[in-house]
Copies of this chain bind each other. A is one copy, B any other.
Amino acid sequence: MLRAGIIGATGYGGVELIRLLSMHSEVGTPRVYSSSSEGTALASLFPHLHQVELPLLESIDVPSIAENNDVVFLATPAGVSAQLTPQLLQTNVKVIDLSGDLRLNSAEQYQAWYKKQPADAQTVEQAVYGLPEYNRELVKQAQVIANPGCYPTATLLGLLPLAKTDWVDPDTWIIDAKSGVSGAGRGVSLGVHYGELNESINAYKVGQHQHTPEIEQVIQEQTGKALLVQFTPHLVPMTRGILATTYVKLKKQVSAAELQEYYESVYKDEPFVRIRPFGSHPRTKEVSGSNFCDIALHLDERTGRVIILSVIDNLIKGAAGQAIQNMNIMCGFEETAGLPKVPLYP
């Protein structure tokens, strides 16, 4: 049995990892680590874990972590992985980092968007961006994975096939994204107060969200094109789910059938990407509880634009599920092992 550890187990990402790993036949009960709360039971913080078999929380001690785990997941706030990963990489442990610390190749970009000290260049270089649909071979050989952000996952899976063509004007990408509240984590603030959020929707960080350069970097890596995207996140009164509504202007004529066939062919062997019928409108609920990314294409002939709708469960394909998908690839397991085959509905 693979020995897995979760650093930062006291957040929503951490407990989702615990849940998904509990369904994985190749992985034992994970060890759980936290910068606070050493020696306490996770169930005292998360009553849903009452009587679930789990060790007590341990403090973050690298030698002990390395000795006791084959793989560790970092579900920590920005800045922690930058400190911790270099030490972990000096051991044999595999690292899957769910934070944004290792995603951006450019230290300047990291500092500009995250307002934190970046990880050292060597660690960043070593990290493979864990979007399996595009980097599967690199993931296989990686010791450290930068697990993609929730918004970039939904966005890139929807956008990359078209971005690779010469059908569209690369200066016209607009991504209007909508997320449930769990993406903001479990920390308390007026911003996550039920009375403030319920029955309300708002945009936030317009033009300033740190997932913007991540999207741009991956587009450049995958297509060779340096471009700027307009990315706007919104907060929706729901717990889970992301919908990315992505707009782009066509510069060549392309038919609905061509678009649809192209996307179907790109993803035909992917276990977690489902191309929905042309012109349909996926709902986030239809992927909730699963590792699926559902994509539907629209062609507005009147305006000459393609509109791509892509939905994920932000805590699964946008975080813990994709991390396990990466673990499966790194460890030679079936890629779908431990991941639900059917979304939770309703």
Contact = CB atoms under 8 A, between A and B. Distances in A.
B276 A178 contact: no
A159 to B, nearest CB: 15
A254 to B, nearest CB: 15
B284 A48 contact: no
A76 B189 CA distance: 21
A199 interface: yes
Interface in A102-131: none
Contacts of A342: 18-19, 22, 48-49, 52
How many copies of this chain? 4
Interface in A195-248: 195-204, 206-207, 228-230, 232, 234, 236-241, 243, 245, 247
A206 B15 contact: no
A341 interface: yes
A188 interface: yes
Contact of A203 (B15, B195, B238, B281): B281
A196 to B, nearest CB: 6
A298 B206 contact: yes
Contact of A48 (B52, B202, B345): B345
A247 B173 CA distance: 11
A274 interface: yes
Interface of A: 12, 15-16, 18-19, 22-23, 46-52, 172, 174, 176, 178, 180-182, 184, 186, 188-190, 192-204, 206-207, 228-230, 232, 234, 236-241, 243, 245, 247, 274, 276, 279-290, 294, 298-300, 302-303, 305, 307, 309, 311, 340-346
